Amino acid sequence: MNVVLLPGDGIGPEVIAEAGKVLAAVVPEVEISEHPLGSEAIARTGEALPASTLTACQGADGVLLGAVGSGDYSWSTSNPEDGMFALRRVLDVYANLRPFRAPGIDLLIVRELVGGLYFGVRGTRPDGTVFDTCEYHPDQVDRVLRRGFELARSRRGRLTSVDKANVLATSRMWRQRALALAAEYPEVELDHLLVDTAAMRLVQAPESFDVIVTENTFGDILSDIAAALAGGLGVAASASLADSGPGLFEPVHGTAPDIAGRGVANPTAAIRSVAMLLEHGLGRPAEAARLDAALDRVAATVQTPDQGGTATTAEFGDAIVAALATDPSEELADA
């Protein structure tokens, strides 16, 4: 097994260091290599996604990414986010999975990740008008909808497709494709919500959702709302999956430059992303469940400053490794 670490910017290197430590503790035989992406890569090579980094990612079984976006590189033709978007596009990780669990809440958002507004044609006209284009091909829509149906079928059998079909042509096509595919999944209950209604219902009744599937921009916004309901961005993980090739696993939070280098960042989201890497990237669901359970145990007693505690980033990671070494499920099996 070969996993590439991309520490990124800001607090990324700090949380990814702990994630790598935990991954090695769970699966000692994994081969781990580290490569630059984002501001650090621009500083070294002038490119946000160096060719050597891309080659390493393409040859990996999974890629674990920190966060990108800090630093002022206005002098460069590239910016840190360019590298992240290019990596997503080349790996074709079109299905972004964002699970959210809290008391009374167990929902999964499936966000289309390589199309729509963020990847459409953009520019400025001679009169000063600036434009961004939202485009989707039916094949792009079908594959992420299928992923949503399949995940819903493996959970509680309810899929909510979110669009803006009362206004947008892309959303009307999206809804038509969802209705057409529903016939192939009779065991899944499909409903449709406009994105504004979905946002309101997420706040009012998050427990009413099982799986939400939606396009790129809507998914970006709705997943942040869901994160706020389930402990905040600091503990939210994600998996971005392709139909073949390596997946991209990353915490949802940003680079947090205000606390970078202080050793106080909460690595929970990065370590949760390791659990998703184990399950969806390395085919090790038992180890993923073991890591999730260890995280739950540690989080109850060890808190970083954002959670009201005093533990450092490294101390939290060490506590996870220690919890894995004294896994009560293993002790029960031995008995």
Residues 55 and 138 both lie in one domain: no
Which 3 state secondary structure label does DSSP give 33? strand
Domain limits for position 192: 97-232
Residue 333: the pLDDT is: 42
What's the pLDDT tens digit per position in 153-202? 999 999 999 999 999 999 999 999 999 999 999 999 999 999 999 999 99
DSSP labels, 196-219: HHHHHHHHH-GGG-SEEEE-HHHH
pLDDT over threshold 90, residue 248: yes
Report the number of distinct structural domains present in the chain: 2
Per-residue pLDDT at 62 exceeds 90: yes
Residues 277 and 322 in one domain: yes
pLDDT of res. 329: 58
The confidence score (pLDDT) of residue 334 equals 44
> Has residue 237 been placed in a domain?
no
Measured CA to CA, the distance from residue 123 to residue 143 in angstroms comes to 29
pLDDT at 72: 58
**Of 198, 232, 266, which closes a domain?**
232
pLDDT of residue 331: 42
- Condensed to tens digits (0 to 9), the pLDDT of residues 292-313 reads 999 999 999 999 999 999 999 9
On whether both 216 and 298 belong to a single domain, the answer is no
Residues with catalytic function: 118, 164, 196, 220, 224
My answer on whether 87 and 123 are in the same domain is no
Q: Is the pLDDT of residue 88 over 50?
A: yes
Q: Do residues 119 and 163 share a domain?
A: yes
Tell me the CATH number at 322.
3.40.718.10
Reported as a pLDDT band with limits 50, 70 and 90, residue 332 is: very low
In terms of Cβ atoms closer than 10 Å to its own Cβ (0-12, 13-18, 19+), residue 76 is middle
What integer is the mean pLDDT of 221-232?
A: 92
Do both 9 and 46 map to the same domain?
yes
| Domain boundary, last residue among 168, 202, 232 | 232
Quick one: 227 and 270 in the same domain? no
215 and 115 within one domain: yes
Q: Domain check: are 54 and 171 in the same one? A: no
Distance CA 314, CA 190 (A): 44
Same domain for 125 and 42: no
Neighbours of 269 (CB within 10 A): 24
Do 319 and 261 lie in one domain? The reply is: yes
Residue 286 lies in a domain: yes
Domain boundary, last residue among 180, 202, 232 = 232
